[in-house]
Chain A
């Protein structure tokens, strides 16, 4: 069971309090009605699924209820950082 830091609660808490919510930094196109089928496919279905650092969303569903982002290494399952929704991708420096 992972230990996850909620950036709103500022606490390390067990994974069962959280719900994973898929890849982060995917933005719903503001002109969604105008995009092509290929663009819709890319937005809704295609995923990076990286072996290494993933930027992903979590929700502190059994806590503050907030969505936030995390950078995690999918090989070791180690979290590099978590940050609030809306904040830009952090520069991860050496560790990335």
Chain B
């Protein structure tokens, strides 16, 4: 891998950029791999990268039915934070944030991790209680998260409407300063380039159509549209399509796939310095380096693989954006799109061995998987390499739905009374 640097750019500038090499190889699949990862999104590519870089397993293929980074990795609103409530969640998301902090240097690819702060708004007393619970738990877990008054929140994010007479006035906010955003495509490309350089084969346009198992149950390989590929171990990192892939191995999983939409505005000069999330009024917004306001909407209520959703979902989101930021009403939606998010009953992911020997699954990230990409790939690689979970993902097992030991981040924020 030829190193990227300012000097490399200068060199190429004088020869018309003709000397850049391919960022990743596009090889034909080999007959056999030690590990086949299904899904070349951020999590799958990161898994392959860490298998190679930390566990010395380089005979790895990542098979992808479309183009790498084309699923939720390239469709999300790129929010990064780790201020989750439960120890298990704080553990894995903060592991990810620590990796984010050095990722550009590690991959020699500028993923533009931008820790400009994620601010979550509280609109009622219940929100305040829930956020305080998070802040205190985060502090004792060594995760930064601080309480802001409405005035402090406005200072941090000047466009914010803190009018006390608003329909749902801002009562305060939880701010994680290490939270922020990164450039989603660069994450996929950076991992792909670094993994490819370490020998990982990334095989695009290769759809998995079956999982072959030995009579004793162990996996033997994957049937694909480009032929059978033998594999000692298989890691499924297929996000919204996980149920479909796992069904091929005869495993039912506690997942449902929902449409999730997002949109961007036309680009404008810098106007929004941080990330703001409001679960109560359903608004998630930041501004990209290009100048577009990046806005996340909610999920539709029904399961779907259509990658489209209803206009009323966008309406609801823009209602909230215009309510929280009334000067954005004249801004224009430039582009909207949908992804398919795989949601577990406790809204926490599954990174786990499965009942099938040699088959591992990393799924259930719901609406917030991007932020975990490095951490998820890192501990999932460990799980595959060692055939046992890393302490950080031990709690995210598939059998928690049998025992009832859920990691219920959603319930912890549930609204009642």
For the complex, is B287 an interface residue (Cβ under 8 Å from A)?
no
Partner of B306, one of A37, A38, A42, A76: A76
A48-89 interface (Cβ within 8 A of B): 48-51, 54, 56, 72, 74-77
B241 CB → nearest A CB, Å? 7
Within 8 A of A (CB), among B241-286: 241, 243-244, 252-257
CA–CA, A74 and B258, complex, Å:
10
- Which of A1, A42, A44, A47 contacts B256, CB < 8 Å? A47
Given contact pairs A49-B303, A50-B243, A77-B302, a sample of 18 additional A-B residue pairs in the complex whose CB atoms are under 8 Å apart: A1-B311, A15-B310, A16-B312, A20-B301, A38-B402, A42-B252, A45-B345, A45-B401, A46-B252, A46-B401, A47-B252, A47-B256, A49-B243, A49-B257, A50-B244, A56-B302, A74-B257, A77-B306
Question: Would A74 and B306 count as touching, CB distance under 8 A?
Answer: yes
Task: Give chain B residues whose Cβ lies under 8 Å from the Cβ of A41.
Answer: 254, 401-402
Is the C-beta of A2 less than 8 angstroms from some C-beta in chain B? Answer: yes
B-side contacts of A2, CB under 8 Å: 302, 310
Question: Is the beta-carbon distance between A75 and B306 smaller than 8 angstroms?
Answer: yes
Which residues of chain B from 307 to 331 have any CB-CB distance to chain A below 8 Å in the complex?
A: 308, 310-312
B20 at interface by CB-CB < 8 Å = no
Asked if B403 contacts A37 (CB within 8 A), the reply is yes
Of B253, B304, B310, B312, the most chain A CB neighbours within 10 A belong to: B304
Instruction: Specify which chain A residues have a CB less than 8 angstroms from the CB of B255 in the assembled complex.
Output: 47, 49
Q: Which residues of A contact B304 (CB under 8 A)?
A: 74, 77
> Given contacts A2-B310, A47-B254, A49-B257, are A75 and B305 in contact (CB under 8 A)?
yes
Interface centre among A16, A20, A40, A41 (most CB of B within 10 A): A41
Q: Closest Cβ of chain B: how far from A28's Cβ, in Å?
A: 16
Complexed CA–CA distance, A16 and B401 (Å): 32
State A47–B244 Cα separation when bound (angstroms): 11
Taking each of A49, A51, A56, which has the highest tally of chain B beta carbons within 10 Å of its own beta carbon? A49
Main secondary structure of the interface of B (DSSP, over half): loop
Closest residue of B by beta carbon distance from A19 = B301
Give chain B residues whose Cβ lies under 8 Å from the Cβ of A77.
302, 304, 306, 308
Chain A residues with CB under 8 A of B241: 51
- The contact string, 1 if C-beta is below 8 Å from chain A, for chain B 32-69, is 00000000000000000000000000000000000000
Looking at the complex, which one of B244, B254, B301, B302 makes contact with A46 (CB distance below 8 Å)? B254
User: Which listed residue (A15, A16, A37, A46) contacts B253, Cβ 8 A?
Assistant: A46
Mark B9-34 against chain A: 1 for CB-CB distance below 8 A, else 0.
Answer: 00000000000000000000000000
* B256 → A minimal CB distance (Å): 5
A37 partner, pick from B244, B303, B402, beta carbons under 8 A: B402
Residue of A with least CB distance to B343:
A49
- Those 7 A-B pairs whose CB atoms lie nearest each other, nearest first: A49-B243, A45-B254, A20-B301, A45-B401, A46-B252, A1-B310, A41-B402
Residues 286-310 of chain B: 1 if any A CB is under 8 Å from the residue's CB, otherwise 0?
Answer: 0000000000000001111110101
Query: Which residues of chain B have C-beta atoms less than 8 A from A75's C-beta?
Result: 305-306
Closest to B241 in A: A51
A49 to B14, CA, bound (A): 54
A38 vs B252: C-alpha distance when bound (angstroms): 12
> What residues of chain B lie closer than 8 Å to A72, measured between beta carbons?
302
When distances are taken between beta carbons in the complex, the residues of chain A under 8 Å from B345 are 44-45
Find out whether the CB atom of A48 lies under 8 angstroms from the CB atom of B243: yes
The answer for the CA separation of A76 and B133 in the assembled complex, in Å, is 42
